[in-house]
């Protein structure tokens, strides 16, 4: 194509403007270029040659230069808005002059009145959501020159689509293009559907637009625009030639902020009925009562499984992942179940503590779609089904090994798995006792009420109990092997700390003192700081009299509980003392043994409380001097 300009008109226009400004780039083209993940490009341009660039951060810029004599130059861009369709960045630019150069620019044309260096600064367009990615830049001399031809059309890493088989994809960055290919026959009509956040079966999270290209980069009639939907009605096209075509999926320009990243699906057919989204051909058949291991190996991978009912009745499904499970799973997955007609029967994140049940007829097949819950995560999981609502045993591979007669502290947090697993090796005929220390019954140092299960290595349950402090759980295995201990919150979703221990004696091992505490000196104030809600701080002192007074000084934390323990972590003097205000509300006393070490736990009276305070002890109701 040849751009024709009126020579005199351009001179008048440029001289009237008198300065360089940012404009919409002229059409350009280029090879797809590498996507290095960091901003690259820039440097000296050569006339008539494309230079690829990549901007990884919307705030980044890239500087290009070329030497210019007096005359006219045309600046060309291959970017998201104009080019060969492979570049992903929406660009803008500015022009300045160095080395004695002077000139003006308008509408992609540069008029040089004094020779020197032209500087083009390229940056992402601030008005576009596509503000990272690839582009190419070039220049040619003369205002009446042929535009620079595109290099060979070469979409990066296309995935070949199979007829009637859905391909799942994921867009990890808003500007990304995902490419597919189809081998087509001229004059054959093809129908293309996609499943996304805008229209689909509600399993996808990205709102996409789709466009089609022949192998020479020209658009395909019927797919020439960025169409934003094709779920209820297919996009039909009839190629005018044999060979490979390319399908480009990208985020829809009008996508909401919540759907500018995520998953989608594509399928094509020469038939007119949309293929089922259930990839039944790829589904792995599950066996009743047997755990099946699986893996999410890439950011866009999805795993399909199937279950066929041998007889009518309710079937129960469980899965073991990083979100809920016995510690074997390394990726948090969501699982959706479908009948053969695409009807969804469940779509859940968790399926370990509570099963997901489906009523099935004899011979009916349910399909399970397993995908990463969080975009981009990979790892292992496992799943199983049964005809009774008792989860089959799955041996944990990643347990904390308990040491005889030594307490092990544990914690379940909002960001951790909802249970903890422990193990120890047991000998046949030996009696073992297991104790635990929790919020409801224990040393008063723990914050979580727990339930504890114990299993033999074959999965046979030994006990299932809430309490294990005053009386141990006693058992004698009939065969040597590993014992597994499963700890879960007594109340689902609760978080906090606990301790657990086992022994072959009938005496509960002594709970160890806190590993770290601030040592107090009699009659001297010490500063305290509980930096987060729900926190605590430990202090220790050596008793100097038979009665010790504990004094509290208010700071930003003005209401606390104080609990005293002896060196065996037995509570001294009953429950916690609530200290606040002034006078008798600001101190408590406890009967102790002089010369013995005591530990003091300070924690906010209200669970939302935190802040700084002071603490002291002496032998009087009168607080130490400030």
Rama region for 442: left / alpha / beta (φ>0; ψ in -120 to 50; rest) = left
> Do 264 and 183 lie in a common domain?
yes
> Do 84 and 210 lie in a common domain?
no
91 pLDDT more than 70:
yes
CATH code where residue 33 lies: 2.60.120.380
What pLDDT, on the 0 to 100 scale, is given for residue 21? 32
Long-range Cβ contacts of 127-130 (<8 Å, 24+ apart): 127/90, 128/80, 128/90, 129/174, 129/251, 129/253, 129/255, 129/260, 130/80, 130/88, 130/89, 130/90, 130/174, 130/175, 130/251
- Classify residue 598: in a domain, yes or no: yes
Residue-wise pLDDT for 567-614, tens only, equals: 999 999 988 999 998 888 999 999 999 999 999 999 999 989 999 999
> Do 418 and 470 lie in a common domain?
yes
Distance CA 377, CA 381 (A): 12
Share above pLDDT 90 across residues of the chain, in percent, rounded to a whole number: 81
Distance CA 369, CA 38 (A): 35
* Average confidence score pLDDT of the chain: 90
Instruction: Kindly give the pairing relationship between strand 43-44 and strand 62-68.
Output: parallel
Residue-wise pLDDT for 530-578, tens only, equals: 999 989 999 999 999 999 999 999 999 999 999 999 999 999 998 899 9
Q: What sign for the dihedral angle of Cα 277, 281, 284, 285?
A: positive
> Do 203 and 284 lie in a common domain?
no
Of 13-22, 172-181, 202-211, 403-412, the poorest mean pLDDT is in 13-22
Enter the pTM of the model: 0.58
Buried b or exposed e, range 85-100, using 16+ CB within 10 angstroms: bbbbbbbbbebebeee
> Do 355 and 415 lie in a common domain?
no
Residue-wise pLDDT for 264-289, tens only, equals: 999 999 999 999 888 777 899 999 99
Distance CA 48, CA 277 (A): 48
Distance CA 569, CA 129 (A): 59
In the chain, helix, strand, coil percent, each to 5?
A: 5, 45, 55
What does the block give as tokens for 77?
Answer: 């861009």
- Classify residue 512: in a domain, yes or no: no
> Do 219 and 308 lie in a common domain?
no
> Do 13 and 130 lie in a common domain?
yes
Q: What is the mean pLDDT of residues 379-404?
A: 96
Distance CA 444, CA 536 (A): 13
What pLDDT, on the 0 to 100 scale, is given for residue 35? 62
- 534 backbone dihedrals φ, ψ, rounded to 5°: 85, 5
- Classify residue 510: in a domain, yes or no: no
Q: What is the mean pLDDT of residues 483-499?
A: 94
What pLDDT, on the 0 to 100 scale, is given for residue 183? 98
Q: Are 594 and 546 in contact (CB under 8 A)?
A: yes
First to last CA, the chain: 88
Question: pLDDT tier at 65 (50, 70, 90 boundaries)?
Answer: very high
Of 237, 228, 166, give the one whose Cα is nearest residue 199: 228
Distance CA 235, CA 223 (A): 7
- Classify residue 448: in a domain, yes or no: yes
- Measure CA 24 to chain center: 37
> Do 167 and 264 lie in a common domain?
yes
Question: pLDDT tier at 16 (50, 70, 90 boundaries)?
Answer: very low
Domains in the chain, number:
5
Q: Three-class SS string for 477-530?
A: CCCCEEEEEEEEECCCCCCEEEEEEEECCCCCCCCCCCCCCEECCCCCCEEEEE
77 pLDDT more than 50:
yes
Q: Are 205 and 375 in contact (CB under 8 A)?
A: yes
Of 328, 352, 386, the position where a domain reaches its end is 386
Q: How many helices (H) and strands (E) does the chain have?
A: 1, 44
95 pLDDT more than 60:
yes
Domain with 18 in it: 7-141
- 501 backbone dihedrals φ, ψ, rounded to 5°: -155, 155
What pLDDT, on the 0 to 100 scale, is given for residue 29? 32
Give the H or E element holding residue 64. strand 62-68
Distance CA 208, CA 269 (A): 20
302 pLDDT more than 70:
yes
What pLDDT, on the 0 to 100 scale, is given for residue 364? 96
What pLDDT, on the 0 to 100 scale, is given for residue 25? 34
> Do 82 and 123 lie in a common domain?
yes
């Amino acid at each position: 194509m040849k751009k024709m300009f009126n020579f005199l008109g351009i001179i008048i226009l440029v001289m009237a403007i008198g300065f360089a400004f940012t404009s919409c780039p002229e059409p350009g083209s280029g090879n797809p270029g590498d996507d290095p993940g960091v901003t690259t490009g820039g440097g000296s341009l050569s006339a008539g040659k494309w230079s690829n660039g990549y901007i990884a951060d919307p705030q980044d810029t890239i500087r290009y230069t070329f030497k210019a004599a007096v005359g006219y130059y045309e600046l060309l861009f291959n970017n998201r808005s104009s080019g060969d369709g492979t570049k992903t960045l929406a660009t803008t630019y500015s022009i300045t002059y160095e080395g004695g150069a002077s000139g003006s620019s308008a509408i992609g044309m540069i008029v040089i009145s004094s020779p020197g260096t032209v500087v083009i600064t390229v940056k992402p367009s601030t008005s576009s959501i596509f503000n990272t990615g690839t582009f190419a830049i070039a220049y040619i001399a003369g205002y009446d020159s042929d535009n620079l031809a595109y290099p060979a059309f070469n979409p990066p890493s296309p995935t070949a689509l199979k007829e009637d088989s859905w391909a799942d994809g994921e867009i990890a960055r808003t500007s990304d293009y995902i490419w597919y290919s189809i081998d087509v026959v001229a004059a054959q009509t093809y129908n293309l559907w996609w499943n996304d956040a805008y229209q689909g079966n509600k399993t996808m999270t990205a709102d996409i637009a789709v466009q089609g290209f022949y192998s020479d980069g020209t658009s395909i009639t019927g797919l020439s625009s960025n169409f934003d939907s094709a779920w209820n009605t297919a996009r039909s096209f009839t190629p005018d030639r044999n060979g490979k075509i390319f399908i480009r999926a990208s985020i829809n320009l009008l996508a909401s902020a919540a759907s500018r990243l995520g998953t989608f699906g594509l399928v094509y057919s020469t038939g007119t009925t949309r293929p089922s989204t259930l990839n039944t051909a790829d589904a792995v058949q599950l066996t009743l009562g047997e755990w099946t291991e699986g893996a999410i190996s890439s950011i866009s991978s999805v795993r399909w499984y199937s279950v066929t009912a041998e007889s009518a009745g309710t079937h129960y499904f469980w899965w073991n992942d990083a979100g809920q499970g016995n510690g074997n799973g390394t990726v948090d997955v969501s699982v959706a179940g479908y009948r053969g007609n695409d009807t969804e029967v469940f779509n859940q994140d968790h399926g370990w503590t509570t099963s997901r049940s489906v009523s099935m007829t004899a011979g009916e097949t349910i399909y399970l779609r397993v995908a990463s819950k969080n975009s981009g995560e990979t790892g292992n999981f496992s799943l199983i089904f049964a005809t009774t609502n008792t989860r089959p045993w799955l041996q944990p591979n990643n347990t904390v090994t308990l040491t005889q007669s030594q307490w092990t502290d544990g914690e379940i947090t909002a960001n951790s798995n909802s249970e903890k697993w422990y193990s120890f090796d047991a000998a046949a005929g030996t009696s073992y006792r297991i104790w635990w220390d929790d919020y409801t019954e224990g040393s008063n140092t723990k914050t979580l009420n727990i339930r504890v299960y114990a299993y033999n290595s074959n999965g046979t349950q030994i006990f299932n109990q809430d309490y294990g402090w005053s009386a141990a759980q006693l058992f004698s295995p009939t065969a040597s092997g590993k014992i597994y201990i499963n700890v879960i919150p007594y109340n689902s979703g609760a978080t906090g700390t606990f301790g657990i221990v086992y022994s072959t004696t009938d005496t509960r091992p002594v709970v160890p003192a806190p590993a770290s505490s601030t040592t107090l000196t009699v009659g001297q104030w010490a500063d305290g700081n509980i930096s987060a809600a729900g926190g605590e701080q430990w202090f220790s002192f050596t008793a100097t009299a038979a009665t010790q007074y504990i004094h509290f000084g208010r700071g930003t934390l003005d209401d606390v509980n104080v609990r005293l323990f002896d060196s065996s972590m037995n509570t001294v003097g009953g429950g916690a003392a609530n200290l606040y205000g002034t006078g008798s509300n600001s101190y408590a006393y406890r009967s102790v043994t002089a010369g013995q070490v005591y530990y003091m736990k300070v924690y906010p009276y209200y669970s939302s409380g935190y802040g700084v305070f002071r603490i002291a002890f002496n032998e009087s109701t009168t607080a130490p001097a400030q």
